[in-house]
Chains A and B, each alone.
Chain A
Amino acid sequence: MENLEHFLTQVWFVILALFLFLYVMLDGFDLGVGILSLTSSNEERRSILMTSLGNVWDANETWLVLMGGALFGAFPLAYGTILNALYIPIFGMIFGLIFRAVAFEFREHSSNKAFWNVAFGVGSFMAALFQGFALGSVLEGIVVDEAGHFAGSIWDWLDWRSLVVALTLIQGYVLIGSTYLILKTEGELQNTHYRTAKLAAITTLIGAVLITVLTPVVYENARAKLFHPPEIYIFALIPVLGVVLIGLLLRSLNQKAEASPLVWTILLFLLTFVGLGLVVFPYIIPPSITIYQAAAAPSALVFMIIFIGFLIPIMLFYNIYNYIVFRGKVVSESYGES
């Protein structure tokens, strides 16, 4: 019986990780494109950038909403404690996402586009920054009492380590945004993003190396967990694979490939995710509350698998269909009527 409960809990941990990964990958390129739009030299380019996201940003953002709901249902304690602790970064992210979301429509109808350009770019940047802070401080650990309730200070999330994670995440978003634009645009605009992708690949690499080195140095828990066989071989493999993927990415950028840079970047994201997941598991509120302590009743987990779990393939199917319908280069500058 306990085995079954543990198994159900682990299934939900994996489902949540999947939702978070899909969000970070998909809205990651939306936010990356948003941040890149701050450097666009003219309205036409910005229009193409926003049009490239017009049909997908909303569905991409919905993975975040889905993850929020699933976390609430499957790990109510973690939902309460983590969001309570991250009050400021969560609302910072939400305000950023609000500006990003309304900018699409408002810019289309506005005669003063400059304001909504800033809302789009800065909103995307804010969302990415605060997501990074949130991720960084969860990895660092949240101060809780014996019952698992948040017992720290409301500013605990802000320190230099979470800042490193935040800056790295922004670089990662810029990287995936650039490679997405390489796929979706052509000509001068595409060339620009070959350059930004190369730059972002290198800055992401620096951030990733910093985090990889810092994690075992700063955190005792991680050190205890990492430096034991057989784990040490797995954890040694991840940075090696990461370097290989960055190499393949840079090579494809140099060869001016159109689709493979995005593929390598996605694999790089996936690798990072697997790495972080292995470091965090079995904790959901590091460093003290495990997924088994925070999980909802087994009946709730089963109930949710029936209603959400079976929908995952269907959701993936129509999301992929959406990308297939709008495949190819962005042609229209207009986000609205075609």
Chain B
Amino acid sequence: MINEVTMNIWSDTVALSRMQFALTAIFHMLWPVLTTGMGIYLVVVEGLWLKTRNPDYYHHARFWAKLYVLNFGIGVASGLPMEFQFGTNWAPFSEAVGDFFGSILGFEGAMAFMLEAGFLGIMLFGWGRVHPVIHYLSTIMVAFGANLSTFWILVANSWLQAPAGGEMVNGKFIVNDYFQAILNPFMLISVSHMFFATLETSLFVIGGISAWYILNKRHTEFFARSLKIAIAVAIAVTPLQIYIGHLSAEQVAHYQPTKLAAMEAKWETSPAGQPADWSLVALPNNKLEQNVWEISIPNGLGYILEFKKNLSEPVLGLKEWQPNDRPKMVGLVYYSFRIMSGIGFFLAGLMGISVIQWLRGQLSPVAIANQTWLLRTWLLAAPLGYVAVESGWIVRCVGRQPWVVYGQIRTADGVSNLPAGEVLTSLLIFAGIYTTLFICAMFFGSRIIRQGPNLNLLVPGIENQPAVEIEPAEFIPDQRPVEAQQ
């Protein structure tokens, strides 16, 4: 039985095209997550440098830009197949939704990618060629472009989740109102959730790498600065992200009941006006249509969805739909959702503890190196944002199945006319190339980190200052961190 299923997958164009899309999307997502979030960080440190003229901020901008550009290159490379495989592998889908979905991808190219690419050269290599203000504008444009790209991609994806602004006529989606389609019900919250996801992931990457340097007693004061910037921004970002995540789940409950049922591995419907259990760990079985094994929290579901014991609306179970009308990979959606939310709470908790230690003065340049466990936890947290982002996308897109456009077009109806052998070949080549790229990126990334910041780089504008007295004496106390004065 298992053999038969396995055989089918390798000769099934739909399954192979889905695997190829999943592989290329999951791999691609790893890189822009950092470049969009870190872009904002680069804007912040360069702004601080222009304001304070403290060379440390300049060196921060230069050091993190090295990791930035490594990510950027792989993001560009792995982004190309994303732009073209809607046509290569999903031609009927492309034809049916091109009027809206294709236009949005076009906007992304014109507004976001080009802006990012057009100013990246100046941001990376233009330090000595343009006025600092022009350079700063370029850095802002690069960050702005990256975040615009988040916006348009999430507009397009939200529309797949909650198609609005038109209707299906003869297998083609006819748009009546483009702005209604852009402002589809999922748009605002999805864009915010992703914006904060990239920012949060980047903050914990920057904080984690900074913690590594402090643990290794390298440039302690320099990296205490970036760690503190990360903590300071995380104070707002981590709780807000949990709240937006909650809003997002409420929307799923309202618009995509099949996805919510899969996220909760819920087979039977819970009626309104009664409490329901919330499943904590389970072993869902799609064939038997039940969880073979489960630990649940009594009356938990009402509290999680509505902050009260009794449900005010029924929560539908998967068995309300025919097996062909609901997601098949229930376990994957169920665990991805738990991993994502668990990481969200863990990172918020880490932020809380870090803030307490900061307030207690334990993060001053003298004391920070003794915070071994806190720093180790930050190091551990560096990759967690990525895991949460990928899990979130799995919930979002695997949970949407069997639909590619929710309730309108089935994934299986959107696939191109292709022999399975060719798709399998391209899938295997992608797997090979992406594995190589991932290993190389880790290798070169850790090499950049081991080398550390180059503090000997000439700071632009320094030649205009008097050569003898580099800094007036009375400014020195001002640059001491606040804790040292307490």
Contacts and interface: CB of A to CB of B under 8 A. Distances in A.
Contact of A307 (B83, B103, B130): B103
Given A68-B84, A80-B416, A149-B91, A62 B98 contact: no
B236 interface: no
Contacts of A160: none
B111 to A, nearest CB: 6
Contact of A83 (B84, B106, B444): B84
A150 B101 CA distance: 21
Nearest to A297: B99
A299 B175 contact: yes
Contacts of A56: 121
B99 A307 contact: no
Interface string A67-96: 011111111110111111011101100110
Interface string B355-380: 00000000000000000000000000
B114 A59 contact: yes
A247 interface: no
Interface string B126-152: 111110000000000000000000000
A57 B117 CA distance: 9
Contacts of B72: 58
Interface string B76-106: 1111110110111111111111111111111
B122 A322 contact: yes
Interface string B38-72: 00000000000000000000000010001001101
Nearest to B125: A55
Contact of A337 (B106, B126, B454): B454
A255 interface: no
Nearest to B73: A105
B387 interface: no
A62 to B, nearest CB: 5
Contact of B91 (A84, A97, A307, A336): A84
Contacts of A336: 66
A242 interface: no
B417 interface: yes
Interface in A273-295: none
A319 interface: yes
Nearest to A155: B422
Interface string A151-187: 1001000000000000000000000000000000000
Interface residues of A, number: 65
Interface string B174-201: 1100100000000000000000000000
Which of A56, A98, A151 has the most CB atoms of chain B within a 10 A radius of its CB?
Answer: A98
Nearest to B432: A95
B99 A322 contact: no
Given A84-B88, A307-B111, A94 B80 contact: yes
Given A72-B87, A83-B87, A307-B111, A61 B102 contact: no
Contacts of B114: 59, 62, 66, 311, 315, 319
A308 interface: yes
Contact of B422 (A58, A80, A154, A338): A154
B76 A307 contact: no
B88 A325 contact: no
B437 interface: yes
Given A72-B87, A102-B437, A97 B94 contact: no
B454 A95 contact: no
A296 B125 contact: no
B304 interface: no
A238 interface: no
A73 B129 contact: no
A106 B103 contact: no
B122 A325 contact: yes
B94 A76 contact: yes
Contacts of A64: 80
B105 A154 contact: no
Mostly, the B contact residues are helix
A7 interface: no
A190 to B, nearest CB: 22
Contacts of A95: 429, 433
Nearest to B128: A338
Contacts of A104: 73
A73 B105 contact: yes
Nearest to A86: B88
B412 interface: no
A308 to B, nearest CB: 4
B121 A55 contact: yes
Given A98-B80, A105-B69, A109-B447, A79 B110 contact: no
Contacts of B174: 297
Nearest to A317: B118
B278 interface: no
B426 interface: yes
A326 B128 CA distance: 11
A150 B417 contact: yes
B107 interface: yes
A323 to B, nearest CB: 9
Given A59-B114, A59-B117, A337-B454, A84 B102 contact: no
A300 B130 CA distance: 40
B98 A79 contact: yes
A14 to B, nearest CB: 15
Contacts of B73: 101-102, 104-106
A11 interface: no
A1 to B, nearest CB: 17
A66 B120 contact: no
Interface in A31-61: 54-56, 58-59, 61
A179 B480 CA distance: 55
B374 to A, nearest CB: 31
A87 B424 CA distance: 12
B110 A311 contact: yes
A84 B418 CA distance: 8
Given A73-B98, A109-B70, A304-B106, 8 more contacts: A54-B125, A58-B72, A66-B114, A79-B86, A80-B87, A105-B74, A106-B444, A322-B118
29 contacts: A54-B121, A55-B120, A58-B76, A58-B121, A59-B118, A61-B117, A68-B109, A69-B107, A70-B106, A72-B94, A73-B106, A79-B86, A80-B91, A87-B88, A87-B426, A91-B429, A95-B429, A95-B433, A97-B77, A102-B437, A105-B69, A105-B73, A154-B418, A307-B106, A307-B110, A322-B121, A325-B126, A326-B126, A337-B66
Instruction: Sort A-B residue pairs by CB-CB distance and give the 10 closest, nearest first.
Output: A76-B98, A55-B121, A83-B87, A72-B102, A80-B91, A69-B106, A73-B103, A73-B102, A101-B77, A66-B109
